[in-house]
Amino acid sequence: MKIVIISDLHGNYDALTALPESYDELWVLGDLVDYGPQPGNVVDFVRKKTDVLVRGNHDQAVGFDEDPRCTPRYHDMAEQTRQFCLAALSPQQKEFLRNLPVHLEVERKGTRFYLCHARPSDPLYGYCPEDSDQWEPELKTVGTDILLVGHTHTPFIRHIGSQIVANPGSLGQPKTKTGKAAACYAVWQDGRLELKQFIYPFENVIGKLAKLPVTPEVLQDLATVLRTGAV
């Protein structure tokens, strides 16, 4: 069985449809919307193609018209694109976001997985980087073989004892610390978890962002993140 795991799509339909991987199942760790120009296309794709899916803080924000609680540097980007999403998505698409589970436990081929967007103790908002000392108690709490998370947009696989916590990184707004505009994802196959990335036509996405009702400052920031992986 081959499972492709993606997270933080953020309305980036170009990256989603450029995913160069076949799979038996597609798992999504939340944040379908905000920041990107095509949230409706992403929601519809995920509704049709995804086997396992959890809610992210931006899905929560758009579905329930709430603050996504972003850091100050990303606040204006999140708020202006959230307003666009609220206008662009249909009532049915927003209902889909509202009804997503905040966490799931699944088993495949004898391996137990726990999925959430941020971290189990705070599944929507808990920011926890790779080197945090909080992962060990989080893993003990869930008790599964693998904990899959997103939210930070930064890919990693960390082994703690016999357990693994992994973040596939962001497909739609990657932050790789390398300066490369590469969409990130993970693959689980034959008991092995692997991080992967690929280059996609991000300038096409920036061209679409230029047509959104956002300020020039926000457009510049959104474009810089897509080009460099950082503001």
Going along the chain from its start, the domains and CATH numbers come out as: 2-103+171-228 (3.60.21.10)
Q: How confident is the model at residue 108 (pLDDT cuts 50, 70, 90)?
A: very high
CA 181 to each of CA 131, 160, 200, 213, 228: distance values in angstroms, whole numbers, following the listed order: 23, 30, 8, 24, 6
pLDDT recorded at residue 180: 77
Residue 193, by phi and psi: left (phi above 0), alpha (psi -120 to 50) or beta? beta
Q: Among candidates 181, 178, 183, which has minimal Cα distance to 168?
A: 183
Could you report the per-residue pLDDT of 4-56, keeping only the tens digit for each? 999 999 999 999 999 999 999 999 999 999 999 999 999 999 999 999 999 99
Q: Which residues contact residue 92 at a Cβ distance below 8 angstroms, ignoring those fewer than 6 apart? A: none
Rounded to an integer, the average pLDDT of 215-219 is 97
Measured CA to CA, the distance from residue 134 to residue 130 in angstroms comes to 10
Per the listing, tokens 């206008």 go with 87
Can you give the pTM of this predicted structure? Answer: 0.97
Could you report the per-residue pLDDT of 148-185, keeping only the tens digit for each? 999 999 999 999 999 999 999 999 999 877 677 899 99
Q: Are 121 and 138 in contact (CB under 8 A)?
A: yes
pLDDT recorded at residue 102: 98
pLDDT recorded at residue 104: 98
Q: How confident is the model at residue 147 (pLDDT cuts 50, 70, 90)?
A: very high
Angle at which helices 216-228 and 202-209 cross, to 10°: 170
pLDDT recorded at residue 176: 77
Q: How confident is the model at residue 231 (pLDDT cuts 50, 70, 90)?
A: confident
Q: How confident is the model at residue 59 (pLDDT cuts 50, 70, 90)?
A: very high
